[in-house]
Amino acid sequence: MDRILLPQSPVIDQAVLRDRRDRFMHRLGGAAAVIPAAPLVTHHADVEHAFRQNSDFWYLTGFDEPGAVALFLPHKTENPFVMFVAPKEPSAEVWNGFRWGCEGAVEQFGADLAHPIEELDQKLAGYLEGAEGIAFRVGRHPKVEPLVLAAWAQQLDRAPRSGGAALGLVAPCPLLHELRLRKSPEELEQMRLAARISAEAHELARQVARPGLNERQVQAVIEQHFLEQGARGPAYGSIVAGGDNACVLHYTSNNSELKDGDLLLIDAGCSVNDYYNGDITRTFPINGRFSGEQRALYELVLAAQEAAVAAVGPGATAEGVHGTAVGVLVEGLLELGLLKGERDGLIEQGAYRHLYMHRTGHWLGLDVHDVGAYRLGEHPMTLEPGMVLTVEPGLYVSDRLPVPEGQPAIEERWKGIGIRIEDDVAVTERGHENLTAAALKAAVAMER
């Protein structure tokens, strides 16, 4: 496969970022928003994890450094976009790498004004003056929060004297996350890139997997491909789960031997330079041949997944997509004798949940479990063009959960089979686009 090199930051077109900021500020009305970057996170002792920018901050700035804060000040006609950043400092950059500094924040990232982050304390209250409210997410940014609260307190103290309105503190999330939920053409391009690299990795994994290998040898092939293709790396802890390990939904130990006769479930996707993510699951027989039970359950999950993908389109709901998958699964489980009773009653009681215990999908974007509401009050969110969701039904047959009363005990021959099939699906004007169709999933393609 071709090696590609992705450009280093700044990676997002400035016009795109400006448009996002304009739309965000329009929604803020008279409130000012304080959006902090992610901090560096300790791995252990004095070692830090690789830096991962905060998705909200990234969406609005495209600035990939820790310890910065962006202010959005729609109440100011001049200089509404202000950044506080780590200033240039050769002695720090020689240890930890390049910084854009204040000049770079203005020239490369479109800030109207930029200051060293150390000055946030002294300048924040001034910038917030005249705003009708402060949009800041409390509870998430322990270093910035006291400064915002102090600035807020200062405004409240002055309000009686200055005659200004007392400020309210509001959450920026609903406004911003509504924007992030609907992907622009540029974002969809990045998601196609993440999907392509992730799908290729799954195809490679199926080629190398065989009895006797360790799960992590397959993980290595997948993650090597991510890096070779210029992605930042895995979007989340890759799940490479042979046999019964696949029945642990968040299995990430990836340290068991692959056994002849078992299935291998791989849930892995990459995060590209622009931070958009792929999230794909495929399941196939390690020795290249399904057993009868494995094939029966695989065909059932595939039928549920294909029906659920087909249900994605404008006007549908994620709830409806889930319902479609559950309907197919329950009917199939009844035919196989793994459930007994009447379809609708079983669905209503959730009597299938010892075999299928998670939802069928989630929003996908800058976060793997992306932001955006699933319901508006009583009503499930209606799918619209630009929204991207995963479709990932599965079946997990093990003794971990009790069989509900009245349901058949599970015969040994089914146990240790865990199957999930997951695609990333974008809603389009006319229906949907399966971004991860390049990762094969037909039963015949899973065999060799």
Looking at 27, 52, 216, 358, which residue is catalytic?
358
Q: Which is nearer to ligand GLY, 84 or 363 (CB)?
A: 363
> Residue 136: CB partners within 8 Å, gap ≥ 6?
33, 34, 144, 145, 148, 169, 171, 172
Looking at 75, 232, 282, 420, which residue is catalytic?
420
Query: Looking at the DSSP assignment, which residues form a beta bridge with residue 214?
Result: 257
SS3 106: helix
Distance from chain centroid for Cα 244: 26
SS3 323: helix
Q: Does 236 bind ligand GLY (CB under 6 A)?
A: yes
Binding residues for ligand GLY restricted to 367-386, rule: CB under 6 A: 368
Q: Which is nearer to ligand GLY, 128 or 240 (CB)?
A: 240
Active site residue 250: yes
Query: Binder to ligand GLY among 392, 423, 424, 433 (CB under 6 A)?
Result: 392
Active site residue 267: yes
Shortest spacing between CB 120 and Mn ion, in angstroms: 37
Looking at 250, 348, 405, 429, which residue is catalytic?
250
> Residue 435: CB partners within 8 Å, gap ≥ 6?
191, 192, 195, 278, 388, 423, 424, 425, 426
236 binds, among ligand GLY, Mn ion, none (CB under 5 to 8 A by kind): ligand GLY
For residues 162 and 129, what is the distance between their CA atoms, to the nearest angstrom? 11
424 binds, among Mn ion, ligand GLY, none (CB under 5 to 8 A by kind): none
Active site residue 115: no
Q: Which is nearer to Mn ion, 198 or 407 (CB)?
A: 198
Looking at 64, 267, 274, 433, which residue is catalytic?
267
How many residues bind ligand GLY, per CB under 6 A? Answer: 7
SS3 373: coil
Active site residue 362: yes
For residues 164 and 161, what is the distance between their CA atoms, to the nearest angstrom? 8
Residue 204, Cβ density class (10 Å: 0-12 exposed, 13-18 middle, ≥19 buried): middle
Instruction: Indicate the residue whose CB is closest to ligand GLY.
Output: 267
244 binds, among ligand GLY, Mn ion, none (CB under 5 to 8 A by kind): none
Half-sphere exposure of 43 (CA within 13 A, CB side): 6
Residue with tokens 């252990």: 44
CB 287 within 8 A of CB 260: yes
Query: Looking at the DSSP assignment, which residues form a beta bridge with residue 170?
Result: 135
Active site residue 64: no
Binding site for Mn ion (CB under 5 A): 267, 279, 390, 422
Shortest spacing between CB 2 and ligand GLY, in angstroms: 26
Active site residue 370: no
Looking at 353, 369, 400, 413, which residue is catalytic?
369
Active site residue 420: yes
Two tokens at 29? 């009305």
Active site residue 369: yes
Shortest spacing between CB 263 and Mn ion, in angstroms: 16
Two tokens at 156? 């409240």
For residues 445 and 448, what is the distance between their CA atoms, to the nearest angstrom? 7
For residues 352 and 407, what is the distance between their CA atoms, to the nearest angstrom? 9
For residues 102 and 298, what is the distance between their CA atoms, to the nearest angstrom? 55
Query: Binder to ligand GLY among 64, 65, 129, 267 (CB under 6 A)?
Result: 267
Shortest spacing between CB 356 and ligand GLY, in angstroms: 14
Active site residue 289: no
Contact residues for ligand GLY (CB under 6 A)? 236, 267, 279, 362, 368, 392, 422
> Hey, which residues are catalytic here?
46, 250, 267, 279, 358, 362, 369, 392, 396, 420, 422
